[in-house]
Homo-oligomer: A and B are copies of this chain.
Amino acid sequence: METTQLLREYDIRPSFTRVSIYEYLKSHRVHPSAEDIHRALSPTIPTLSRTTVYNTLHLLVQKQLVTTLDVEEEQQRYDIPDHPHAHFKCRKCKAVYDLEDVHPSNIPQDKLNGFRVEEAKLVYYGLCPDCQQTA
Contact = CB atoms under 8 A, between A and B. Distances in A.
A40 interface: no
A61 B119 CA distance: 27
Interface string A92-135: 00000101011010010001101111111111111111001000
A85 to B, nearest CB: 11
A88 B121 CA distance: 10
A91 B125 CA distance: 25
A115 B95 CA distance: 12
Contact of A118 (B97, B114, B125): B125
B101 A115 contact: no
Contact of A70 (B72, B99, B101): B72
B126 A99 contact: no
Nearest to A123: B121
Contacts of A124: 107, 112, 115, 117, 119-121
A128 B117 CA distance: 9
A116 B127 contact: yes
In order of increasing CB-CB distance, the 9 nearest A-B pairs are A114-B129, A118-B126, A117-B126, A119-B125, A70-B70, A116-B127, A116-B126, A117-B124, A121-B123
